[in-house]
């Protein structure tokens, strides 16, 4: 049977550095399909959860607590999830199990009595399970592509992720035109099964489980987590990401609220989400290519500088459609972030066996910004207005850009076409795609 396989560099003659098996089309599609369906699971639920709970007679405070519990589950489990992913080798099974568990939690919501004692624990458990998605998807990508091919593979995978978010919004709109809001939760349960099935399209023999945690020397234990924290580059990246998401997280809800206050339609509010996701698809793909050519830092810097510009521009218009148009700039920053942050984590932890622990740590910084930012935004808008809120978050975004550009060094090393000096497998660079017969490289 003929399939497209990605060629690999010339094998090392050193025994412990075995040649990496080529990446098949089946595994490539399995990883991308998993990104697509897992994005649908996460992207469609939260906006409609509030509506469902209000329809069941919940008070606003109780609704807020329920949604916060889901976010709290993600926040508390991010770093532990990354540490566990470094230690557990059956990563495909773990990702499939996490997907099914999230689907089960949301699928049970409309079947249980609408009381907090039943629903709040389900939302918290769903949040904890979702915290495994990012580290596991990154680990599988690194295990398949190696350090040299990771940025390009993540660019494609993140394009599928954003396409999944876009599709989830369209599916939700279509379902709610004919069915009650409970149909969203049943759809999430069904999609979780598709995500789990997609994971097993990835061929186990093509995933280097040792390289998936960053690789390390033979018979050497992984570096201590405290050693990771003492790395100055990690501290700088953590600070820059935390500031970035402190500024970015409240902006989309603020824009949606601003459009509503200006008399905009529900369609315009929906377009705030769709416009950004549509732009993220090509931007993520391009970031996967440019991150290899230019380096990680120049590409990431674009995303950091676009954010304060975008937020300031919001304060200069009172046109709902102009606000929607400006939201397309969000697609640039978010599209770049999802690709480059994984590559930088891989660069910083190469040979330590702590790749996924760092992914979890950085995701914790992201979650912290997502919690504090909206909380701060609510009070600023209430007492000072929308313009003041936009100026405040633009200033925070500018601080994030300065921290990153002035203090964060380039992390990409000149290893793209050589064997992994720290790992058990070779760095796999997707130099060309050619037709292979029976899986034998010609």
**Measuring CA to CA, which residue among 52, 59, 278, 66 is closest to residue 179?**
52
Helix 355-384 to helix 60-87 angle, to the nearest 10 degrees? 160
Do 154 and 278 belong to one domain? Answer: no
Do 207 and 246 belong to one domain? Answer: no
Higher pLDDT, 101 or 440: 101
Tens-digit pLDDT profile for residues 21-55: 567 889 999 999 999 999 877 656 766 777 778 77
Do 34 and 177 belong to one domain? Answer: yes
Instruction: Report whether 424 contacts 218 (CB < 8 A).
Output: yes
Report pTM: 0.77
Query: Residue 286 has what pLDDT?
Result: 92
Q: Which of 150, 184, 213 is the last residue of a domain?
A: 213
Q: What is the mean pLDDT of residues 227-250?
A: 86
Tens-digit pLDDT profile for residues 296-315: 999 999 999 999 999 999 88
Q: What is the mean pLDDT of residues 204-214?
A: 84
Q: Which of 163, 178, 213 is the last residue of a domain?
A: 213
Residue 81 CA to residue 88 CA, distance in Å, equals 10
Tens-digit pLDDT profile for residues 331-340: 898 889 989 9
Q: What is the mean pLDDT of residues 71-84?
A: 85
Q: What is the mean pLDDT of residues 238-252?
A: 87
Do 249 and 365 belong to one domain? Answer: yes
Q: What is the mean pLDDT of residues 82-86?
A: 86
Q: What is the mean pLDDT of residues 323-342?
A: 87
Do 257 and 125 belong to one domain? Answer: no
Which residues is 433 bridged to in the sheet? 6
Q: For residue 318, count CB atoms less than 10 angstroms from its CB and return exposed for 0-12, middle for 13-18, buried for 19 or more.
A: exposed
Do 208 and 252 belong to one domain? Answer: no
Query: Residue 322 has what pLDDT?
Result: 84
Check whether 259 has a pLDDT greater than 70: yes
Mean pLDDT of the chain: 79
Do 150 and 230 belong to one domain? Answer: no
Do 302 and 199 belong to one domain? Answer: no
Do 283 and 368 belong to one domain? Answer: yes
Within 10 angstroms of residue 113's Cβ, the number of other Cβ atoms is 8
Query: Would residue 407 count as lying in a domain?
Result: yes
Query: Would residue 314 count as lying in a domain?
Result: yes
Across the beta sheet with 433-437, the strand order is: 23-24, 2-6, 433-437
**Measuring CA to CA, which residue among 345, 343, 341 is closest to residue 333?**
341
Query: Would residue 221 count as lying in a domain?
Result: no
**Which range of residues forms the domain containing residue 260?**
226-413
Within 10 angstroms of residue 131's Cβ, the number of other Cβ atoms is 25
Higher pLDDT, 7 or 46: 46
Instruction: Report whether 31 contacts 15 (CB < 8 A).
Output: no
Residue 294 CA to residue 166 CA, distance in Å, equals 29
- Percent of the residues in the chain that have a pLDDT greater than 70, as a whole number: 80
Give the pLDDT band of residue 438 (cuts 50, 70, 90). very low
Instruction: Report whether 107 contacts 185 (CB < 8 A).
Output: yes
Tens-digit pLDDT profile for residues 268-279: 666 777 778 888
Q: Tokens for 434, please give them.
A: 């050619």
Q: Of the spans 384-388, 426-430, 433-437, which averages the highest pLDDT? A: 384-388
The CA–CA distances, whole Å, from 180 to 45, 122, 183, 361 equal: 14, 21, 6, 38
Do 203 and 302 belong to one domain? Answer: no
Instruction: Report whether 149 contacts 278 (CB < 8 A).
Output: no
Residue 301 CA to residue 240 CA, distance in Å, equals 11
Instruction: Report whether 198 contacts 330 (CB < 8 A).
Output: no
Lowest mean pLDDT among 39-48, 97-106, 124-133, 154-163: 39-48
Do 36 and 105 belong to one domain? Answer: yes
Query: Would residue 5 count as lying in a domain?
Result: no
Query: Residue 2 has what pLDDT?
Result: 38
Count of domains observed in the chain: 2
Query: Residue 3 has what pLDDT?
Result: 40
Helix 182-199 to helix 25-44 angle, to the nearest 10 degrees? 160
């Amino acid at each position: 049977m003929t399939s497209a396989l990605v060629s690999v560099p010339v094998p090392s003659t050193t025994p412990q550095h075995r040649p990496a098996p080529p990446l098949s089309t089946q595994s490539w599609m399995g990883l991308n399909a998993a990104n697509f369906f897992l994005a649908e699971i996460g992207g469609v639920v939260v906006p409609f959860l509030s509506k469902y709970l209000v329809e069941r007679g919940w008070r606003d405070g109780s609704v807020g607590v329920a949604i916060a519990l889901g976010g709290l589950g993600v926040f508390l489990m991010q770093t532990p999830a990354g540490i566990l992913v470094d230690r557990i080798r059956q990563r495909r099974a773990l990702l499939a199990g996490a997907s099914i568990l999230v689907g089960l939690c949301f699928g049970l919501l409309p079947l249980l009595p609408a009381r907090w004692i039943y629903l709040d624990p389900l939302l918290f458990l769903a949040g904890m399970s979702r915290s495994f998605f990012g580290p596991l998807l990154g680990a599988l990508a690194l295990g398949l592509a190696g350090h040299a091919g990771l940025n390009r593979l993540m660019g494609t995978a993140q394009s599928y992720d954003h396409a999944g978010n876009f599709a989830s919004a369209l599916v939700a709109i279509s379902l709610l035109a004919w069915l009650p809001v409970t149909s969203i939760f049943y759809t999430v349960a069904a999609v979780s099964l598709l995500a789990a099935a997609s994971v097993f399209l990835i061929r186990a023999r093509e995933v280097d489980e040792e390289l998936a945690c960053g690789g390390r020397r033979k018979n050497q234990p992984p570096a201590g987590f405290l050693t990771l924290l003492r790395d100055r580059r990690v501290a700088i990246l953590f600070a820059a990401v935390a500031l970035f998401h402190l500024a970015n997280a409240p902006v989309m809800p603020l824009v949606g609220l601003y459009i509503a206050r200006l008399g905009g339609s529900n369609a315009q509010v929906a377009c705030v989400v769709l416009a950004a996701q549509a732009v993220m698809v090509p931007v993520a793909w391009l970031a996967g290519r440019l991150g290899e050519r230019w380096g990680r830092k120049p590409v990431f810097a674009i995303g950091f500088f676009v954010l304060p510009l975008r937020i300031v521009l919001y304060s200069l218009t009172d046109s709902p459609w102009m606000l929607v148009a400006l939201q397309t700039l969000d697609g640039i920053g978010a599209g770049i972030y999802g690709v480059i942050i994984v590559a930088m984590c891989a660069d910083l932890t190469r040979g330590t066996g702590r790749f996924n622990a760092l992914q979890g740590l950085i995701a914790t910084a992201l979650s912290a910004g997502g919690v504090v930012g909206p909380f701060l935004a609510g009070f600023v808008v209430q007492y000072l207005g929308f313009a003041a809120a936009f100026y405040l978050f633009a200033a925070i975004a500018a601080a994030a850009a300065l921290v990153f550009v002035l203090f964060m060094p380039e992390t990409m090393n000149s290893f793209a076409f050589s064997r992994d000096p720290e790992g058990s497998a070779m760095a796999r660079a997707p130099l060309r795609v050619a037709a292979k017969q029976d899986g034998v490289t010609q």
